[in-house]
Amino acid sequence: MTSRPFDFLNSAIGQEVLVVLKDNVNIRGTLKAFDVHMNLALENAEELENGTMKKKYGKLMIRGDNVLYISL
């Protein structure tokens, strides 16, 4: 059961997530780690445009204050 935001993030470690950023950039990748500021570390990350891959990043760190939401 996920009752707190960090419980949700803990349950998502090792899973593929979709991260939507403030400027409407969509990033998909495997969540490897996060911290209390919701900075995210992703592997196999790629930027999506209209649901298709636009750019591959591999390993990517996203600053938490840019995140609008995270979806499994």
Q: What is the pLDDT of residues 54-71, one digit of tens each?
A: 999 999 999 999 999 999
Residue 28 CA to residue 47 CA, distance in Å, equals: 6
Q: Would you identify the CATH topology of the domain 5-71?
A: SH3 type barrels. (2.30.30)
Mean pLDDT within 7-31: 96
Model pTM? 0.90
Bridge partner list, 27: 19, 47
Q: For the chain, what's the residue count?
A: 72
- Split at pLDDT 50, 70, 90, the class of 2 is low
Q: How far is CA 26 from CA 1, 3, 18, 35, in A?
A: 27, 26, 7, 20
Using an 8 Å Cβ cutoff, are 60 and 19 in contact? no
